[in-house]
Amino acid sequence: MNYGFVIDNSSCIGCHACSTACKSENEIPLGVNRTWVKYVEAGRYPDVRRMFQVTRCNHCANPPCVRICPTGAMKQRDDGIVEFDTDACIGCKACMQACPYDAIYLDPESHTAAKCHYCSHRVDIGLEPACVVVCPAHAIIAGDLDDPESEISRVLAHRNTTVRKPEQGTSPKLFYIEGEELSLTPTATTAGAGFLFADVSQDEGMQHPPPPPPPRHRRAPTDDRGTSLRVPQAQGLTSGGPIQVGGRMAEHMVQVAYNAQHRILWHWEIPAYLVTKHIAGGAFLLLALIALTPLAPFSPALMAWIGGFGLAMLLVTLGLLVVDLDRPDRFFYLLLRPQWRSWVARAAWILSGFAAVGSLWWAVETAAWLGWVAPAVATDLRVPLAIATLPLSALAATYTALLFAQAEGRDLWQAPHIPVQMGFHALLLGAAPFLVLPLVASVPPAVLTLARFTMFLGLTGSATTTLVGDLLVAQPSEVARRAHYSLVRGKWRQNYWWGGLVCGHVLPLALLASGRPLPALAALICAVLGLYLYEVAFVTVAQEVPNS
């Protein structure tokens, strides 16, 4: 068995019977949808047409939502249906970031992920999905794609069909007859101030970044009387190809008359956690290098101060991750029932292991510094604990890049320079506390020299990687280009240039040159603030581009 859908757009009348039947059958709360009819209007009066498109989960043969789910709550059945388990979901929203189709929502009552599950409870007893039964035009066809005698197989054999975003490599099993590019491609249209019979949640990011502006015409086209033929672009409309209207050329106007709400899922907690995680990972990474190499003298006092600060940042990191969950009461599921293909689950174990080993090392060295244990005990355990800490701190600093790469619905996050960039962020943020430490304790000059060099390396490496990766490397898709344009030249350019580059890199570099602890403290504050502003923009802008 291999279940799929065919939507016949030539038959769909846009009645929403499928949407209401789905809500009734599955008791879906108001404000969210498992299936909905997208309306797109195109043309210019009087030559205007409206396109209907039934939109829902594609039940992909290669579902990214299943791979990224940390607890196995999102799963693919043997018959191809992508199902979900409400009792296993922790509300991390990773599956929603991985879905290239905006097909998954967060249930406002259970606070867990949900979507179309092909009415699996009906299919299991030999019934068709509720939307198929209720459709008055028989525009929705469901069945076994592997059965050549099934209706869906016969339709696919004799009709031309298309799918949404085939370039994503998900192998969707929701096929459209007479699929319209204006409906299938989310970025072909923009949402205005409101829909035909619904409001747009502007605070949830329904307005997606515009494309880079086209080259300006030197002169607007005119008719034989000199009247301009350029049509002013109204709010919520985008220009498409020219069409013939009333014997002359006019711009093709397109607008969305109705669509499901697109929402930004990860907010300030994720950018903040990236910064605190980099401080913790970078600080322990440098401590481990000092303990394992003759680059600078290691002392229990150094671990007591810097390690304690790093552990405090790690606790803040874990707290931010728990706060971001919509089911924080189920956080322990990450450790008790991990789905090991997910970098969310791997991250939980990396951070837990890092916290355990780092805390043990800090406790031993601090006890030796305070005279509670013999110094020989700390000396004997230092090398093995540093060896264990080194890879864990490095992974803690960079694993988020691999998590972002699994979020396949956000093309901007797939950039190959992100792991290197995060490594440099960890170096600069982890080294800064060493330079501030002379304000409260004595620090060997060799340690300060090493920390200053490390922070300089992190700042210059991060700035170079960011500028080269963002400005010189071509974006892989039209969706990524839109997000990138908004980040560098559009809505978020202040965060990018003044926050990330000036405050996060240029000012710390200038302050670092003094070599004194108070400017070093200012450099740390500037770096933290600047990188946080940059991460806010980077995390948000990729989510602003809708996938439906």
465's CB contacts (< 8 A; 6+ apart) are 417, 420, 421, 424
Secondary structure of residue 3 in the 3-state scheme = strand
Closest Cα partner for 278 from 6, 22, 535, 521?
Answer: 535
- Residue 212's pLDDT is what? 52
407, 409, 411, 415: CA torsion to nearest 10: 10
Protein fold of 269-544: Formate dehydrogenase/DMSO reductase fold (1.20.1630)
Residue 93: pLDDT above 60?
A: yes
Domain ranges of the chain: 3-187, 269-544
- Strand 35-44 to 253-258 pairing: antiparallel
Provide, rounded to the nearest whole percent, the portion of the chain with pLDDT above 70: 89
- Residue 244's pLDDT is what? 39
Contacts by residues 493-496 (CB-CB < 8 Å, ≥ 24 positions apart): 495/533, 495/534, 495/536, 495/537, 496/534, 496/537
Alpha-carbon separation of residue 438 from 388, 434, 435 (angstroms)? 28, 8, 7
Amino acid, res. 100:
P
pTM: 0.89
Residue 419, sorted as left (phi over 0), alpha (psi -120 to 50) or beta, turns out to be alpha
Residue 209: pLDDT above 60?
A: no
In this prediction, residue 255 has a pLDDT band, given cuts at 50, 70 and 90, of confident
Closest Cα partner for 58 from 201, 200, 161, 191?
Answer: 161
Residue 215: pLDDT above 50?
A: no
Closest Cα partner for 96 from 88, 84, 87?
Answer: 84
- Residue 42's pLDDT is what? 85
- Residue 182's pLDDT is what? 86
Residue 49: pLDDT above 50?
A: yes
Residue 235: pLDDT above 70?
A: no
- The H or E element spanning position 308 is helix 308-324
Amino acid, res. 274:
L
Q: Are 407 and 97 spatial neighbours (Cβ–Cβ below 8 Å)?
A: yes
Widest CA span in the chain:
97
For residues 28 and 26, what is the distance between their CA atoms, to the nearest angstrom?
A: 6
For residues 443 and 119, what is the distance between their CA atoms, to the nearest angstrom?
A: 65
- The H or E element spanning position 250 is strand 248-250
Q: Are 471 and 314 spatial neighbours (Cβ–Cβ below 8 Å)?
A: no
Cα 333 from chain centre: 22
Instruction: Flag the least confident range among 207-211, 297-301, 458-462.
Output: 207-211
Average pLDDT estimate for 357-365? 97
Instruction: Flag the least confident range among 30-44, 444-458, 522-536.
Output: 30-44
Residues in the chain: 548
Instruction: Flag the least confident range among 92-101, 220-229, 349-358, 438-447.
Output: 220-229
Residue 231: pLDDT above 80?
A: no
- Residue 211's pLDDT is what? 53
For residues 160 and 83, what is the distance between their CA atoms, to the nearest angstrom?
A: 28
- Residue 41's pLDDT is what? 86
- Strand 3-8 to 174-177 pairing: parallel
Element counts in the chain: helices (H) and strands (E): 19, 14
Q: What is the pLDDT of residues 116-162, one digit of tens each?
A: 999 999 999 999 999 999 999 999 999 999 999 999 999 999 999 99
For residues 42 and 530, what is the distance between their CA atoms, to the nearest angstrom?
A: 43
Average pLDDT estimate for 481-502? 94
Q: DSSP code of 29?
A: P
> Tokens 């059965």 correspond to what residue?
147
Secondary structure of residue 111 in the 3-state scheme = coil
For residues 108 and 113, what is the distance between their CA atoms, to the nearest angstrom?
A: 9
- Residue 223's pLDDT is what? 40
Count of CA atoms in the C-beta half-sphere (13 A) of 107: 21
Alpha-carbon separation of residue 241 from 80, 150, 165, 188, 229 (angstroms)? 39, 39, 21, 11, 14
Average pLDDT estimate for 97-113? 95
For residues 115 and 90, what is the distance between their CA atoms, to the nearest angstrom?
A: 15
For residues 64 and 62, what is the distance between their CA atoms, to the nearest angstrom?
A: 6
In this prediction, residue 201 has a pLDDT band, given cuts at 50, 70 and 90, of low
- Residue 228's pLDDT is what? 37
- Residue 200's pLDDT is what? 64
- Return the bridge partners of 174, or none: 5
Q: Do 269-544 and 3-187 have the same topology in CATH?
A: no
Compute the chain's Rg from CA coordinates.
27
443's CB contacts (< 8 A; 6+ apart) are 302, 434, 437
42's CB contacts (< 8 A; 6+ apart) are 48, 49, 51, 182, 240, 252, 253, 254
In this prediction, residue 252 has a pLDDT band, given cuts at 50, 70 and 90, of low
- The top-level CATH class assigned to 3-187 is alpha beta
For residues 162 and 184, what is the distance between their CA atoms, to the nearest angstrom?
A: 9
For residues 93 and 409, what is the distance between their CA atoms, to the nearest angstrom?
A: 12
